[in-house]
Structure 1
Amino acid sequence: MNKLKYCLMAATLLVATSIGFTSCSDDDDPESTMNPAEAEVKANKKHDTAILLCSFGSTYNEATPIYDQIVSEFKAEFGNQADVYLSFSSNTCIGRLEAIRNEAYYHIDDWLNAFAEAGYSKVAVQSLHVIPGEEYLSVMNTTVKKNFMIRDYPHVNVLKSANLLDSDEDTEDVATALYNHYKSDLADKKHILLLMGHGNPNDSYNANQKYADIEVAMQAKTGGINNVFVGTVDYGKMLFWPWDEKTKKPLATPNPECIYSKLTKYCADNNLQPEEVTVYLAPFMSIAGDHAHNDLWGLGDDDTEIELATPQSDYSWRMKLQHMGFKIDNTETHPADKADADHGIESGCKIKALGDFPEIRKIWLNHLKENWNDSDAWENGEDYQPEA
Structure 2
Amino acid sequence: MKKIKFILLAFIAMVTTTISFTSCSKDDNDDTDSNYNRYQSAVDNTIKSEKKHDKALLLVAFGSTWQQAFDAFDSTVEAYKAKFPEYDVFLSFSSAICINRAAAGEHVASRNFYSPNYWLEGFGRVQYNTIVVQSLQVIPGEEYTRVINYIKDFANNNSADLDDTYLSHVKLYLGTPLMQDAETDVNNLANALDKNLSSYASKGTVALMGHGNPDTYDTYKANIRYSQLEEALQKINSNYYVGTVDMPDNYKNDVYARMKANGVTNGTVYLHPLMSIAGDHAHNDMAGDSDAPKNLNENDEEVSWKSFFNTAGYTCDNNTCIVKGLLEVEDVRALWMQHTTNAINGEPLDFYHSKNPE
- What TM-score does the superposition give when structure 2 sets the normalisation length? 0.81
Structure 1 pair 70–310 and aligned structure 2 pair: CA distance change class (3 A):
same
Opposite residue 219 of structure 1, the aligned amino acid is Q
Structure-2 separation of matches of 1:360 and 1:28: 40
Opposite residue 196 of structure 1, the aligned amino acid is M
1:179-213 CA-to-partner distances (Å, cap 9, x unmatched) read 1222223236xx11111111121256321111111
Corresponding residue for residue 285 of structure 2: 295
Whether the 8 Å contact between 1:52 and 1:124 is mirrored in structure 2 is yes
Structure-2 separation of matches of 1:220 and 1:26: 53
1:278-322 CA-to-partner distances (Å, cap 9, x unmatched) read 1001111111111111111224x2xxx426364423311221212
Of 309, 312, 317, the match for 1:321: 309
Structure-1 separation of matches of 2:251 and 2:35: 49
Asked if 1:75 corresponds to 2:81, the answer is yes
TM-superposed CA distance for 1:169, in Å, is 2.1
Corresponding residue for residue 235 of structure 1: 247
Q: Equivalences for 1:231-270 in 2 at 5 Å?
A: 231-241=243-253, 258-267=254-263
Moved more, 163-172 or 282-291: 163-172
Opposite residue 237 of structure 1, the aligned amino acid is D
Whether the 8 Å contact between 2:62 and 2:95 is mirrored in structure 1 is yes
Of 101, 116, 121, the match for 2:124: 116
Corresponding residue for residue 214 of structure 1: 229
Whether the 8 Å contact between 1:232 and 1:238 is mirrored in structure 2 is yes
Corresponding residue for residue 352 of structure 2: 381
TM-superposed CA distance for 1:173, in Å, is 1.9
Query: Aligned residue pairs: how many?
Result: 326
Unaligned residue ranges in structure 1 (runs of 5+): 11-16, 242-257, 334-349
TM-superposed CA distance for 1:62, in Å, is 1.3
Structure-1 separation of matches of 2:273 and 2:55: 34
Opposite residue 139 of structure 2, the aligned amino acid is I
TM-superposed CA distance for 1:72, in Å, is 0.6
Q: Equivalences for 1:319-358 in 2 at 5 Å?
A: 319-331=307-319, 333=321, 351-358=323-330
Asked if 1:48 corresponds to 2:20, the answer is no
Corresponding residue for residue 173 of structure 1: 188
Whether the 8 Å contact between 1:157 and 1:380 is mirrored in structure 2 is no
Moved more, 312-321 or 46-55: 312-321
Structure-2 separation of matches of 1:30 and 1:316: 38
Asked if 1:157 corresponds to 2:145, the answer is no
Corresponding residue for residue 346 of structure 1: none
3-state secondary structure, aligned to 1:199: coil
Corresponding residue for residue 194 of structure 1: 207
Unaligned residue ranges in structure 2 (runs of 5+): 10-22
Whether the 8 Å contact between 1:57 and 1:90 is mirrored in structure 2 is yes
3-state secondary structure, aligned to 1:97: helix
Whether the 8 Å contact between 2:66 and 2:279 is mirrored in structure 1 is yes
Structure-1 separation of matches of 2:294 and 2:314: 15
Corresponding residue for residue 244 of structure 1: none
Asked if 1:368 corresponds to 2:340, the answer is yes
Structure-2 separation of matches of 1:290 and 1:183: 26
Structure-1 separation of matches of 2:47 and 2:34: 25
3-state secondary structure, aligned to 1:166: coil
3-state secondary structure, aligned to 1:287: coil
Of 68, 79, 96, the match for 2:101: 96
Whether the 8 Å contact between 1:332 and 1:352 is mirrored in structure 2 is no
3-state secondary structure, aligned to 1:126: strand
3-state secondary structure, aligned to 1:63: helix
Whether the 8 Å contact between 2:135 and 2:175 is mirrored in structure 1 is yes
Whether the 8 Å contact between 1:311 and 1:320 is mirrored in structure 2 is no
Structure 1 pair 29–352 and aligned structure 2 pair: CA distance change class (3 A):
closer
TM-superposed CA distance for 1:95, in Å, is 3.0
Structure-1 separation of matches of 2:131 and 2:34: 34
Moved more, 209-218 or 169-178: 169-178
Opposite residue 134 of structure 1, the aligned amino acid is E
Structure 1 pair 26–365 and aligned structure 2 pair: CA distance change class (3 A):
closer
Asked if 1:86 corresponds to 2:91, the answer is yes
Corresponding residue for residue 183 of structure 1: 198
Of all paired residues, the percent bearing the same amino acid is 33
Opposite residue 250 of structure 2, the aligned amino acid is M
3-state secondary structure, aligned to 1:86: strand
- Larger Rg, first or second structure (1 or 2): 1
Opposite residue 206 of structure 2, the aligned amino acid is L
Asked if 1:308 corresponds to 2:294, the answer is yes
Corresponding residue for residue 143 of structure 1: 150
Structure 1 pair 36–329 and aligned structure 2 pair: CA distance change class (3 A):
same
TM-superposed CA distance for 1:327, in Å, is 1.2
Corresponding residue for residue 20 of structure 2: none
Whether the 8 Å contact between 2:272 and 2:323 is mirrored in structure 1 is yes
Aligned-residue CA RMSD (Å): 3.0
